[in-house]
Structure 1
Amino acid sequence: MTNAKLQSEIIQKTIYPILFIISFSHFINDLLQAVIPSVYPLFKEKFNLSFAQIGMITFTYQLTASILQPFVGMYTDKKSKPFSLMIGMSFTLVGLFFVSIASSFAYLLLAVSLIGIGSSIFHPESSRVAHLASGGKKGLAQSIFQLGGNAGSAVGPLLAALIVIPHGQSYIVWFCLIALVGIFALYKIAIWYSSHLEEKRQKKTNANEIVTHNLSKKRVVFSLVILLVLIFSKYFYMASITSYYTFFLINKFHVSIQESQIYLFAFLGAVAAGTLFGGPLGDKFGRKYVIWISILGVAPFTLMLPYVSLFWVGILSVIIGLILSSAFSAILVYATELLPGKVGLVAGLFFGFAFGMGGLGSAILGKIADITSIEYVFQICAYLPLIGILTAFLPNIESKK
């Protein structure tokens, strides 16, 4: 059997068990990270924090995650490190432990920075695992991978509402047990990943991906900039929800902390559900159209949300979550097709930029909330999805395959 034929069989085979395990690992990783913003009301009361300080917690976590990810991705593009996934989850475990015993605002910042480092190690290499196991169904693989992360982000606040809010900060330590489960799952992934790399070395298959477009370097860079601007609009808006949605509901509708967490869970659950559609629809109809509909299409609903009743806030937030969440898988795969063979770099750049924009957005919006109000923050953020109109400038690279 020729090397070309061997490579063709490897490419065509989608390895669903690995996709499900890496998705489960993503579920655990993002669940643990979601615990932190979920207990912001508790920290605000215990440490007498301002909204700007709440934003600074998110900014610190997201900054450590965003700055390191592109460098981790570039390094692992050249030298794959299967067991680095376990190291990343270990950083998250240690960070959670320190959060559970933090006695000051500065201590909290140190603890969440460790969680950010864990995230920066996890995402680039886990995205590569999903890519390798995709069998060519890259959009589907990314959607399965992203589904795990978004489901974890949805479940995290719910578990925090049940475990941490009633009993206090120290109960965050119980989430370290979930991190241990994640480390075990990533050990299984690392074994498969190592075997996969060894098999490729023995068969001497060509690891380089074929360029599927004839765009100039300048056009590729221009397209990447547009994608990053779209990420900015999506994650700045997401920052308003993940960091301040509970405060918005408490201030405007006088719901309890636990009730506000249920609304946040509904939004994040919708985000998880919507993620599953973006990748496969992009595979079938073209990623540009999914990106267009996902970001610009959500604008009417974001514009209405700050002005409606509690019932309609709940309904609109679910609709927003469903539509907006389908963009990231499509954006990520579109970017890997612009830069074939650079999965780690692309994943690190886009995950890192997404986290960076989320953190920056949280810090800026917290300061605005202190000066004005939480309701005003939601009013101005409602216009961010209109930036989705820039999708019109992206080339239709699928038609050039």
Structure 2
Amino acid sequence: MSSSLTAADSIRSQQTTVFTVLFAISLVHLLNDTVQSVVPAIFPIVQESLHFSFSQIGLIAFAMNITASLLQPFIGLYTDKRPLPYLLPVGVMFSLIGVVVLALAGSFAQMIIAVILIGIGSSVLHPESSRVAYLAAGPRRGLAQSIFQLGGNFGQSLAPILTALIFVPLGQFGIIWFTFAAAAALVVQTIVAKWYKNHIVNRPKAARTIRSSRPLSPKIMILSMTILIMLLFSKFVYLASMTGYYAFFLKDHFNLTTERSQLFIFALLAAGTLGGFVGGPLSDRFGRRNMIWFSILGTAPFSMVLPYANELFSAILCICIGFILLSGFSVIVVYGQELLPGKVGMVSGLFFGVAFGLGGIGSAILGAMADHFGLTFVIQICAYLPLIGLLAAFLPTDKQLKITVEPAESALSS
């Protein structure tokens, strides 16, 4: 792979899609999110072994996600002006250390330290790797972001399987095996960082992205960004309710084992992996706003039925929800990048950061609600969150986002 990531590729990537780079960062995203998915995957284990409450479980998820949420936008904003290619492997090092601490943690405080380290690693990976996807995309930005997101979605979908196959029989210390995933990600990120550096050095510097003759007003841009963040709120708080608490709901309602209940979460996330992959290319074909609308509002009929379904129908609904809900995140990222051209890192960092932050805040609040009102109430009330997708009607159309680009890239590095 390293021979493919050359300076010549970096020049050609301005007009063509560099798939070697895209699949490399997708692989790293897979490895990173597999490590990250370990945290919610061990919740059923540590709840019993370390006697954690639902509130403590929510706070652990909150600590990891809020770390990434706060750091990502600032990292993206800084590297928009001063790209730092070798920050990519440095971020993986934080995740590697976090995995070791997580495997050995014997207290709530140690768990918090471990997940903060993993959160720091994710805060570097997402905005910078998303920028690499943008650089390697050529004219196919939706497809490029979907390839990058494919790895992350697949890594997240492995969490329930990891619980069933590793953490139930081996316990918390089984996490130590994921140091191999982090080490592999470190190697690949070093290779990607070399391509990224060569791309910056060899890229022509002449032109900038130029707005069309009828640019969007600041008021519309602020409103659009607010709507996009609200859509992310509906998407990721609902997802937090499913990945963090739906397995407990299934165990209570259908008397399922931990292993069997995790298979429902795997079905949701595996379907989401496929949905996330097809969402980007479909947005290239049918429009970003249409795909955003479908991915959130289209989830609502299935989510509202889920709390009342029987076991078999619940599995089918999880597949439908996962496919539709996760088909739109990469599209939202690309839509934001086109809404604010020249701010690729900031937009990517902001949206990934908001996703992490909302997931963390949602987990903490939902955990407290579960302790006080019960799991059934949490699952039932969260089922209505996808209705926020109605706000997509107020986003500018794809034609309104069109920009004129001269024969070089936007100002990714001044």
TM-score by length of 2: 0.92
The answer for the alignment partner of 2:64 in structure 1 is 61
The answer for the alignment partner of 1:344 in structure 2 is 345
Which of 163-172 and 99-108 deviates more?
163-172
Shift of 1:235: 0.4
Shift of 1:10: 4.2
| Residues in 1 aligned to 2:107 and 2:211: alpha-carbon distance in whole angstroms | 51
1:122 aligns with 2:125: yes
Deviations 1:76-112 (A, max 9, x none): 1011111111111111111110010001011101110
CA contact (8 A) 1:271 1:325 kept: yes
| Residues in 2 aligned to 1:170 and 1:400: alpha-carbon distance in whole angstroms | 50
| Residues in 2 aligned to 1:47 and 1:161: alpha-carbon distance in whole angstroms | 19
The correspondence of residues 198-277 of structure 1 with structure 2, limited to 5 A, is: 198-200=201-203, 203-206=204-207, 208-211=208-211, 214-277=215-278
| Residues in 1 aligned to 2:96 and 2:256: alpha-carbon distance in whole angstroms | 32
| Residues in 2 aligned to 1:346 and 1:176: alpha-carbon distance in whole angstroms | 30
- In the superposition, relative to structure 1, how do residues 153 and 365 fare at CA in structure 2: closer, same or farther (>3 Å)? same
- In the superposition, relative to structure 1, how do residues 7 and 60 fare at CA in structure 2: closer, same or farther (>3 Å)? closer
Q: CA RMSD in A?
A: 1.5
CA contact (8 A) 2:292 2:328 kept: yes
* Partner-residue secondary structure (3-state), 2:353: helix
1:291 aligns with 2:292: yes
Shift of 1:8: 9.5
Which of 370-379 and 153-162 deviates more?
153-162
| Aligned residues with identical type, % of pairs | 50
1:47 maps to which of 50, 65, 86: 50
| Residues in 2 aligned to 1:109 and 1:400: alpha-carbon distance in whole angstroms | 42
CA contact (8 A) 1:211 1:337 kept: no
Count matched residues: 393
CA contact (8 A) 2:11 2:199 kept: no
Could you tell me which runs of 5 or more consecutive residues in structure 1 were left unpaired when the two chains were aligned. Answer: 1-5
1:193 maps to which of 181, 191, 196: 196
Shift of 1:400: 5.6
| Residues in 2 aligned to 1:400 and 1:335: alpha-carbon distance in whole angstroms | 10
| Residues in 2 aligned to 1:33 and 1:8: alpha-carbon distance in whole angstroms | 34
Shift of 1:160: 3.4
Shift of 1:237: 0.2
| Residues in 2 aligned to 1:31 and 1:8: alpha-carbon distance in whole angstroms | 32
Counterpart amino acid of 1:270? A
The answer for the alignment partner of 2:390 in structure 1 is 389
Counterpart amino acid of 1:78? K
Shift of 1:375: 1.4
Counterpart amino acid of 2:216? L
Which of 391-400 and 317-326 deviates more?
391-400
- In the superposition, relative to structure 1, how do residues 85 and 227 fare at CA in structure 2: closer, same or farther (>3 Å)? same
Higher helix share: 1
1:34 maps to which of 27, 34, 37: 37
CA contact (8 A) 1:31 1:155 kept: yes
* Partner-residue secondary structure (3-state), 1:49: coil
Which of 208-217 and 253-262 deviates more?
208-217
Counterpart amino acid of 1:180? A
Shift of 1:29: 0.6
* Partner-residue secondary structure (3-state), 2:149: helix
1:358 aligns with 2:359: yes
Counterpart amino acid of 2:211? V
